[in-house]
Structure 1
Amino acid sequence: MQADIVFTGGTIRTGAAESPVLDALAVTDGRISALGAEALAARGSSTVVVDLRGGALLPAFGDGHVHPVMGGLGLLGAPVRECTSVEGIVEAVRNWADEHPEAEWVTGDGFDAWLAPDGRFDARWLDAAVPDRPVLLRTMDHHTAWVNSEALRRAGFTAATPDPAGGEIVRREGSVEPLGTLREFGALLPVLGLVPQPSHQAHVDALCETAARFAAAGVTWVQDAWVEPQHAEVWITAATSGQGLPVRADLGFFLGPEQWREQLPELAARRERVEGAAPGLLTAHTVKFFADGVVESGTAALLEPYTDCPHSHGIANWTPGELAEAVTAIDALGFEPHIHALGDGGVRVALDAIEAAARVNGPRDRRPVVAHAQLIDPADLPRFAELGVIANLQPLWAQPDRLMTDLILPRIGPERGARQYQFAALLASGARIAFGSDWPVTDYEPLRGIATAVTRQTPEGIPEGGWLPQERIDIATALAAYSAGCAHQAFEEKEWGVLRPGMRADLVHLAADPVETAPRDLADLPVLGTWLAGRRTHGFYALFPVSPGGR
């Protein structure tokens, strides 16, 4: 049978043990139809031949934990993400406010939490730039906000306001007056709820923009790890309009500890709505939980107190019993839990909840996820494999950047600091891992994450031998965590993640073979093309169709 496309002229890295490296691949009707010599023999008069130009063709990447809609909207406000100082942020806010006098609120997203000492940002610094309109800026981890005095006033946050459940209103030194820094969603949501929301179409446009960026990075599947009801409709519109999206997605419906029982009946109906609207592009078999916060702000739940705050174990968003009950309830509905847990206390509560659900509901093919898993107590590490829990890890976090050196390590001390992001240890225990970016927290390009997982170094090559070098993994393993690992998380390991005949032609063309590339150079390896089920979604090929028999 004549193939629609034949790829040749480079290295085919299949990711499959039986034939890891080949020289050609054929695609017919959106699926891989032949490999090697059989693929070359499938060329016909109308076959499009794609010359890999000495590069490599691999399984396309997934992203097992990302926030496409929220991240896309975050690109619309004041450009604070690239600022390297408090003064730079204030200037960016001032300029944006001057250019947008019609905006009721000034917002920005993604600045670095370590730019102020101890991550404490003062409202008065923003007041100097915008005194008459509310300002709301979110840090790169989205668990902390910096607001001005007008935003505090509108939210009703005063010296008499107690810290809300699941949040902290940071106070001025020696005072009960709010400083201007808000931590965790209990404190963030009263402010976020006041910000005028962009239109549905603006949401759709933001999603389409980010989906195009993912395709340009070689990504063809994403796990949206926080979907509110209105976000599901955004995905549906984007997937069913025009040419459709360049990525597939699984939507993870958010479930919080407030009124979660009343929301249960809605989950199955929302799943049916999503999967019926865009079959083949969208699934919705996930429910997202937050077990705790983040270490850098002192809100991740720890088994032992914080080193710099001996009376605090962080913030647990759920009681252990309530989380176990909620996870058991969504498991009974056929959903998979996707639990944000960074502290070793949060990880333990998440594992306990997953174990309880399996015990109550009985055996089935489960793919529960614990996302981030920054700190795992030694007693809990083997439980990932025992319970079939996927550790969804963010490889870009496994480096000694300023977030780590200035905020995280001083809060947890050297002993706990030496057991962070245990990629190799989890794999050695028999656990499955999948990689994700958590964008907009960190960059969405998988090759940047792969470079960090392999080197455990900053982009500058620090430290020389890698940070916690025993947790480094090789390039092939890191590639698999972004492909086969994500496919397993998606329940689609028979559809994509490796290159075998019959699998979907979800492919990425890199300018060079990543396995033969120096680890430090992986981050800058160009992505020349991406295909979703044989449809070009990125690259020279997407702009200029290749003629039969040509490049």
Structure 2
Amino acid sequence: MSSNTIVLADTIHTLDDSMAAPKAINISEGRVVALGNRADAADWLNPSTEIVDLGDATIVPGLIDEHVHPVMGVALTTGPDLHDAANPAGLRDLLQAELRRLGHTDWLLAWGLEPKTLPPDLLHRRSLDAIAPGRATVVRFFDGHGMVVSSEALRRAGIEGPREFTDRSEIECDADGPTGVLQEMQAMDLINNVLPPPDPAALAGAVADRLRQMAAQGLTAVQAMEHVPGASGIYAGIESHLGGLPVRIRAFPWCTPGLGPAGWQQIADQMTEGGERWQVGGVKLFIDGTIDNGTAWLNQPDTHGQSTQSVWPDPEEYAAAIAFFDERGIPTATHAIGDHGVRFALEAIGRTGRVARHRIEHVESIPDDVIAQFAASGVSAGMQPTHCTQFTSSDGQDNWSQRLGQQRAAHAWRIKDLLRAGVPVAIGSDWPIAGHDPRRIMAAARHRMRTGDRSQSSLDAQQSISALAALTAYTRTAAWSVGEEDLGVIRVGSRAALTAFEVDPLRAEPQEFATAPVVLTMVDGDVVHRS
């Protein structure tokens, strides 16, 4: 007789409509093999049975973050976090404190710079040169789509003026040459490629630590919207030498402009890569940039006259790439923030044979007709509630709202409207852009305000969703959107991925749930976190 684990709890939400609420789960070989009440559990016992009795805790299907950057995020969050730098003086203080800590170390790195910190005239290499004269300084923007660097950093990267890129990246220049602001991926890579490479062992250890933090917050799986060079080795190394992966990882390598069919095939060939708890299983594409940086694709320009085009010089190349991956049954996730970007991505997906599942990421501002288009398409949405609550304000004075103007800003993160229209919506973090604690993110989706900040008014309370909708978006829909029906629910045959809380997430108020202890996290029948 094979060994088994019986998990008991007073409340178990299976998210399987066909199943009455059980009190006991029987697990063998990483799968759920039976559900029942406590009396039924007596029939499942054998000499090697392990019993995990969680008492009055509440068990739900294992939580899944539909959008994280586990390797890239660790590498990009080197140095001080600048999210709390409210003004130029705050930025100076944080960078100078890091200088004192580093001593004579060569590069000064920081991340998380928000638009509120520096007015446009100070977003310049000269500001960094004044703080750290002669140092190669790199400050990454909070949204991951831009950076400002010092004169010395520009010199080391050989950046002396504008260049042509295949993805509409930009080296911003004024009358004196490059300002130090680099927009979008290929421009930023000019700097990334001259930074000292991280120590491989240290990077793997940091990734493992970050994944353990995610598991301790209740995550059992993540969808990595990246698969950078070396990621396969990092995941394999964690499995073989660092105690194993505490969460399941499904990785999505990037497909960027200019690769063509040969490059697309190289990405498709990566779908065979995987290990015990990780698998390359999708493709990430970008149709536009961000509203805050003026690189989104809007139907009409923003108030600065920006955000007017796709990052693909020929958007039909994007459509051809989507069709290529669909024909091979490979799921895709497309970053589309602006209304025209979302519209075009939906149209391109609609032209495919719909062999694979496709998801549109972010969907920050869309009008009613795009919601109707979404509903008719069968495409899912991946959205990040804390991008709304953390980076915009109810008074509309934030950079995002000011760039869009009042009418378009009123169409922000329309999660409830999409759900009401029948669109499957998964929610997640986009870590490191925002924190990855799923409790805080689900709370933000429910009350549309920054968790813990009672001074903030709700950001369009009409878009608040129910506790059940938030939980479903973090479990069943996240799994369904990439074709993993054996995750996100608790039913016979599903993977034994469970999250247990001290409170019932369907009954607790959002603020209470945001800080509720995670009692247990289980992945494939293995307890990876227990409080």
TM-score, with length taken from structure 2: 0.91
Q: Hey, what's the Cα distance between the residues in 1 that align with 2:467 and 2:46?
A: 36
**CA displacement at 1:9 relative to structure 2:** 4.5
In 2 relative to 1, CA 304–57 (structure 1 residues): closer, same or farther, beyond 3 Å?
same
Structure 2: distance between partners of 1:439 and 1:112: 15
Q: 1:369 aligns with which of 359, 371, 380?
A: 359
Q: Does the Cα contact within 8 Å between 2:71 and 2:231 map onto a contact in 1?
A: yes
Query: 1:152 corresponds to which letter in structure 2?
Result: L
SS of 1:512 mapped into structure 2 = coil
Paired residue type of 2:404:
I
What SS does the corresponding residue of 1:62 show, helix, strand or coil? Answer: strand
Letter in 2 for 1:478: A
State the secondary structure of the residue aligned to 1:425.
helix
Q: Which whole-Å CA distance do the structure 2 matches of 1:185 and 1:141 have between them?
A: 12
1:395 corresponding residue in structure 2 = 385
Q: After superposition, give the CA deviation of every residue in 1:176-232 in whole Å (9 maximum; x if it has no partner).
A: 543333222243121222112213323322221211111111111111102223323
CA–CA distance in 1 between the matches of 2:397 and 2:282? 34
1:283-294 equivalent positions in 2, closer than 5 A:
283-294=279-290
Matched, 1:144 2:146: yes
> What is the deviation of 1:382?
2.5
3-state secondary structure, aligned to 1:212:
helix
Task: Say if 2:139 and 2:148, in contact at 8 Å, map to a contact too.
Answer: yes
State the 1:59 CA deviation: 0.8
Task: Report the Cα distance in structure 1 between the residues aligned to 2:423 and 2:122, rounded to whole angstroms.
Answer: 38
- Cα offset for 1:24? 2.9
User: How does 1:186-335 map onto structure 2 within 5 Å?
Assistant: 186-272=186-272, 274-275=273-274, 278=275, 280-306=276-302, 308-310=303-305, 313=308, 315-335=310-330
Instruction: Classify the secondary structure of the residue corresponding to 2:350.
Output: helix
Taking the aligned partners of 1:381 and 1:523, their CA distance within structure 2 comes to 29
Cα distance change, pair 176–349 in 1 and its aligned pair in 2 (3 A): farther
What CA distance in whole angstroms lies between the structure 1 residues aligned with 2:203 and 2:6? Answer: 37
Counterpart pick for 2:503 among 502, 505, 512:
512
Contact 1:10 1:55 in 2 (8 A): yes
Question: How do 1:351-430 residues align onto structure 2 when only pairs under 5 Å count?
Answer: 351-358=346-353, 364=355, 366-399=356-389, 401-402=391-392, 405-430=397-422
> Secondary structure of 1:487's partner?
helix
Amino acid at match of 2:323: T
1:443 aligns to 2:435 (yes or no)? yes
1:31 maps onto 2:31 in alignment: yes
The whole-number CA distance in structure 1 between the counterparts of 2:37 and 2:183 is 55
In structure 2, how many angstroms separate the alpha carbons of the residues matched to 1:119 and 1:452? 33
Counterpart mapping for 1:456-471 below 5 A: 456-459=448-451, 460-461=453-454, 464=457, 466-471=458-463
SS at match of 1:538: strand
Q: Which runs of 5+ in 1 are unaligned?
A: 541-551
Residues 1:539 and 2:526 aligned together: no
Query: In 1, distance between residues paired with 2:203 and 2:420?
Result: 42
How far apart, CA to CA, are the structure 2 residues paired with 1:393 and 1:467? Answer: 15
Residue 126 (structure 1) aligns with: 128
Amino acid across the alignment from 1:18: S
- Which SS does the other structure have where 1:339 is aligned? strand
Deviation for aligned residue 1:448 = 0.8
Once residues 79 and 452 of structure 1 are traced to their aligned partners in structure 2, the CA distance between those partners, rounded to angstroms, is 22
Residues 41/463 of structure 1: CA separation in 2 closer, same or farther (3 Å cut): farther
Residue type of the alignment partner of 1:27: I
Q: Provide the residue aligned with 2:476 in structure 1.
A: 484
How many Å apart are 1:446 and its aligned residue? 0.9
CA distance in 1, matches of 2:444, 2:397: 16
- Separation in 1, partners of 2:373, 2:310: 23
Q: 8 Å contact 1:12–1:21 — kept in the other structure?
A: yes
Q: Which residue of 2 aligns with 1:544?
A: none
How many pairs were matched up? 525
Q: Is the 8 A contact 1:289 1:338 kept in 2?
A: yes
* Separation in structure 1 between the aligned mates of residue 98 and residue 448 of structure 2, nearest angstrom: 37
TM-score w.r.t. length of structure 1: 0.88
In structure 1, give the amino acid aligned to 2:58.
A
Displacement of 1:375 in angstroms is: 1.9
> Secondary structure of the residue that 2:134 maps to in structure 1?
coil
Distance 1:41 1:372, change over 3 A: same
What is the aligned-residue RMSD (CA, Å)? 2.5
Q: Is the contact made by 1:13 and 1:20 (CA closer than 8 Å) also made in structure 2? A: no
Q: Is the 8 A contact 2:71 2:228 kept in 1?
A: no
Please state if 1:501 is matched with 2:492: yes
**1:346 & 1:101 partners in 2: Cα distance?**
45
Secondary structure of the corresponding residue to residue 514 of structure 1: coil
Provide, for residues 77-125 of structure 1, a one-character-per-residue CA deviation record: whole Å limited to 9, x for no partner. 3444554443333333333334334633222222333212259523233
- Structure 2: which 5+ runs fail to align? none
CA contact (8 A) 2:298 2:308 kept: yes
Q: Residue 318 and residue 161 in structure 1: after superposition, are their counterparts in 2 closer, same or farther (change >3 A)? A: closer
Equivalents in 1 of 2:101, 2:450: separation in Å? 36
Q: What is aligned with 1:114?
A: 116
CA distance in 2, matches of 1:267, 1:163: 24
Distance 2:12 2:307 in 1: 52
Deviations 1:383-406 (A, max 9, x none): 333332110111212337447741
Mapped partners of 1:118, 1:401: distance in 2: 18
Helix, strand or coil: the match of 1:491?
coil
- CA-CA distance at 1:499 after TM superposition: 1.2
Q: CA separation in 1, counterparts of 2:20 and 2:298?
A: 42
1:111-170 alpha-carbon deviations (Å, 9 max, x no partner): 333212259523233223322231112122111212112112233444x53675623334
The 5-angstrom pairing of residues 27-66 of structure 1 reads: 27-32=27-32, 33-37=34-38, 38-39=40-41, 41-43=43-45, 46-66=48-68
Closer, same or farther: CA 332–385 of 1 in aligned 2, 3 Å: same
Question: 2: CA distance between counterparts of 1:491 and 1:192?
Answer: 34
Can you list the C-alpha shifts for 1:51-70, whole angstroms capped at 9, x where unaligned? 32422111110011110001
Structure 2 matches for 1:53-92, cutoff 5 A? 53-92=55-94
Query: Secondary structure at 2:23's aligned position in 1?
Result: strand
In 2, Cα distance between equivalents of 1:507 and 1:492: 15
Closer, same or farther: CA 522–429 of 1 in aligned 2, 3 Å: same
Distance in 2 of aligned mates of 1:435 and 1:28: 30
Match of 1:336 in 2: 331
- For residue 370 of structure 2, give the secondary structure of its aligned residue in structure 1: coil
In structure 2, C-alpha distance between the alignment counterparts of 1:176 and 1:345, rounded to whole Å: 34
1:284-329, Cα deviation, whole Å (9 max, x unpaired): 22111111011111111101111x2236525533422111112112
**CA distance in 1: counterparts of 2:473 and 2:96, whole angstroms:** 42
Output the amino acid matched with 1:201: A
